[in-house]
Amino acid sequence: MSFALNRRTFLKSASGVLLGLAYLPGSARAGASNAGTVASSASWDDLARSLKGPLLHKDAPDYATIAAPWNLRFAATLPAGIARCVSPEDVRACLHWAQSNEVPLAIRSGGHSYAGFSTTSGLLLDVSLMNEVGDLDASGRVRLSGGARNANVYAALRPLGRAITHGRCKGVGVAGLVLGGGIGFSQRLQGLACDQLVETEIVIASGELLRCNEVDNADLFWACRGGGGGNFGVNTSLTFQTFPVAVVTVFRLVWRSGLDELLPAALALLPTTPDRLGCKLFVEAGKDEQLELVGQLVGTEGELTSLLAPLYRIATPNEQAVRALPYWDSQEFLSEEGPPEYSHERSRYVFRPVPPEGARTVLDFLRRWPTTHDGAQWKIFLAGGAVAAVPTDATAFVHRKALMLSTIDLSWTPEDDAAAVRANQVWLDEFHAAMQPFTSDESFQNFIDEAETNYLRAYYGANLQRLVEIKRKYDPDNLFRFTQSIPLSL
Ligand SMILES: Cc1cc2nc3c(=O)[nH]c(=O)nc-3n(C[C@H](O)[C@H](O)[C@H](O)COP(=O)(O)OP(=O)(O)OC[C@H]3O[C@@H](n4cnc5c(N)ncnc54)[C@H](O)[C@@H]3O)c2cc1C
């Protein structure tokens, strides 16, 4: 593979920028959003020649679709080029080129980073075309390429009657999901997605493709199980131990009244339920207030009814859909589209049962929501079980002993003016702060949050120091950096 651009060529093109003469593909001058991008058009051409996959610039017909992140708050940051990598060699060429040209880069698989950390004004290294799912081996393992999404997992594992822990939104990238731990309705019984990861291949800054598992590069493997996306290199394959699945009872129950009694009761009840139950609770803000419980039970409809009896005794749900279905049909029932939106979600892990005062605080804030043209919710994801059975230092995912993960989810539309969005952000931050006494300072690295001030501790806790050491070993020049990336030192 040839890398035509050297440091001298870079300096030449950099001085071109200083003189206002830099050429960006598809435009004669550098635009404001590309201020950090200094490569010349000739060097971009060199990159294009070194790739098997296409390199897109702003004039490409599909550029806008591929450049757009899930969180539209960050859609204004447009990459000067999008390398649609089709192999680890393409990834290696991009890393080499970006370093030689000092062009900032971001890795993207499913594009669902809450904080827009897979956007850049430089080179977007897009692995989403690398989405193959291999055959199941004799021990039930399956190898995914680094750009596979939940949708690819659904399609490939469904006919096999097997699964891994996965999310509900089909567009989410498996790489982003598993690198931050990976939660899903099966987690209490089967563990996190990262607990089922048995091997990953990763191209590191030096261009080496490393195989990581319990034996080879075991420290980097440890870091890839909860250390967060985009910190150490580009994961080009992910091999999972799958588990067999059969019929499960899925449910969606909605209550529109009695929330003052229902919410504390649900918060006390859910952590006591057996690990066969996986569920998520939402409380919707505003005048259409409602409490919704969604999830799956590896068990019968009758068992579900008796588990949830304390809630049914308070009030009969206004809507209920309960079905016993083969696992993958049940996942269609549970899946959500999750289209792109303007949103900000803030999370806190919960280690002790939320007291009634905590439930009152939730309802009080939701009833004072300043409103947007979209919505706001407080949610909890039930944790524990197999997640908690793994020691907190066995993988980089530190939040093992939590009972639940709580989040506040705020979304809006372009119809909401800047003042309205600001008022909502203030409300969100106050709500987040008010919940701290009932929750904790730990936050989920997959719900990455640019407003979290003590984010390294919040995401990685006692595992942070080791992650920093691994970062220094595998990415000594800090190529893989973004606003909340793991630093070279603390
Ligand atoms: C609608 C929605 C539903 C969600 N549901 C769940 C859920 O059920 N369970 C759960 O655990 N999380 C869930 N999440 C959170 C999700 O796991 C994270 O946002 C995750 O980081 C998204 O990964 P991605 O590949 O789609 O996003 P991207 O934006 O492409 O990537 C996220 C981060 O990982 C890095 N990255 C991406 N690909 C690679 C790679 N191949 N190698 C190295 N780094 C890479 C990126 O640079 C970025 O920093 C959900 C998010 C959304 C928006």
The encoded tokens of residue 410 equal 């705020």
In the reported structure, the alpha carbon of residue 447 is separated from the centroid of ligand 1 by a whole-number distance in angstroms of 8
In the reported structure, the alpha carbon of residue 29 is separated from the centroid of ligand 1 by a whole-number distance in angstroms of 33
pTM: 0.92
Let me know how many helices (H) and strands (E) the chain has, helices first.
Answer: 17, 17
In the reported structure, the alpha carbon of residue 242 is separated from the centroid of ligand 1 by a whole-number distance in angstroms of 20
297, 251 contact by CB (below 8 A): yes
The CATH code for residues 141-244+461-474 is 3.30.465.10
Residue that has been written with the tokens 């919960």 in this structure: 350
Cβ within 8 Å of residue 364, ≥6 positions away: none
Ligand 1 atom, smallest distance to 177 CA: 17
380, 321 contact by CB (below 8 A): no
Integer CA distances (angstroms), 459 to 196, 233, 372, in order: 20, 19, 29
Ligand 1 atom, smallest distance to 70 CA: 53
> CA-CA distance, 141 to 125, in Å (whole number)?
27
457, 464 contact by CB (below 8 A): yes
In the reported structure, the alpha carbon of residue 220 is separated from the centroid of ligand 1 by a whole-number distance in angstroms of 19
* Long-range CB contact pairs, 276-281, < 8 A, 24+: 276/188, 276/189, 277/188, 277/304, 277/307, 277/382, 278/184, 278/185, 278/186, 278/187, 278/188, 278/189, 278/382, 279/185, 279/382, 280/185, 280/379, 280/380, 280/381, 280/382, 281/379, 281/380, 281/382
**Arithmetic mean of pLDDT over the chain:** 92
The CATH code for residues 7-126 is 3.30.43.10
- Segment 72-105, tens digit of pLDDT: 999 999 999 999 999 999 999 999 999 999 999 9
429, 374 contact by CB (below 8 A): no
Integer CA distances (angstroms), 117 to 10, 439, 445, 486, in order: 25, 26, 12, 13
Residue 359 burial (CB count, 10 A): 23
For the chain, the domains span 7-126, 141-244+461-474, 247-453
Cβ within 8 Å of residue 201, ≥6 positions away: 88, 146, 209, 210, 211, 212, 235, 236, 237
Ligand 1 atom, smallest distance to 202 CA: 42
In the reported structure, the alpha carbon of residue 287 is separated from the centroid of ligand 1 by a whole-number distance in angstroms of 32
CATH class of this structure's domain 247-453: alpha beta
> CA-CA distance, 182 to 463, in Å (whole number)?
17
Strands 277-284, 243-244: pairing is unpaired
Ligand 1 atom, smallest distance to 235 CA: 42
Burial of 471 (0-12, 13-18, 19+ CB in 10 A): buried
Ligand 1 atom, smallest distance to 234 CA: 42
The terminus-to-terminus CA distance of the chain in angstroms comes to 37
For residue 341, what are the β-bridge partners?
71
Residue that has been written with the tokens 């589209």 in this structure: 337
Residue that has been written with the tokens 């890398």 in this structure: 3
> For atom 17 of ligand 1, which residue has the closest CA?
177
In the reported structure, the alpha carbon of residue 126 is separated from the centroid of ligand 1 by a whole-number distance in angstroms of 13
3-class DSSP state for residue 207? Answer: coil
For residue 345, what are the β-bridge partners?
409
User: Residues 6-27, buried b or exposed e (16+ Cβ, 10 A)?
Assistant: eeebbeebeebbeeeebbbbee
> CA-CA distance, 351 to 380, in Å (whole number)?
12
> CA-CA distance, 490 to 475, in Å (whole number)?
15
Q: How many residues does the chain have?
A: 490
Per-residue pLDDT of the chain (490 residues; tens, 9 = 90+): 222 223 222 222 332 222 222 222 222 222 233 344 568 887 999 999 999 999 999 999 999 999 999 999 999 999 999 999 999 999 999 999 999 999 999 999 999 999 999 999 999 999 999 999 999 999 999 999 999 999 999 999 999 999 999 999 999 999 999 999 999 999 999 999 999 999 999 999 999 999 999 999 999 999 999 999 999 999 999 999 999 999 999 999 999 999 999 999 999 999 999 999 999 999 999 889 999 999 999 999 999 999 999 999 999 999 999 999 999 999 999 998 889 999 999 999 999 999 999 999 999 999 999 999 999 999 999 999 999 999 999 999 999 999 999 999 999 999 999 999 999 999 999 999 999 999 999 999 999 999 999 999 999 999 999 999 999 999 999 999 999 999 999 9
Ligand 1 atom, smallest distance to 230 CA: 44
User: Residues 179-201, buried b or exposed e (16+ Cβ, 10 A)?
Assistant: bbbbbbbbbbbbbbbbbbbbbbb
Which residues have CB under 6 Å of ligand 1?
A: 70, 106-114, 117-118, 127, 146, 167-169, 172-173, 175-177, 179-180, 182-184, 229-230, 234-235, 338, 446
Residue that has been written with the tokens 């009634």 in this structure: 356
> For atom 23 of ligand 1, which residue has the closest CA?
176
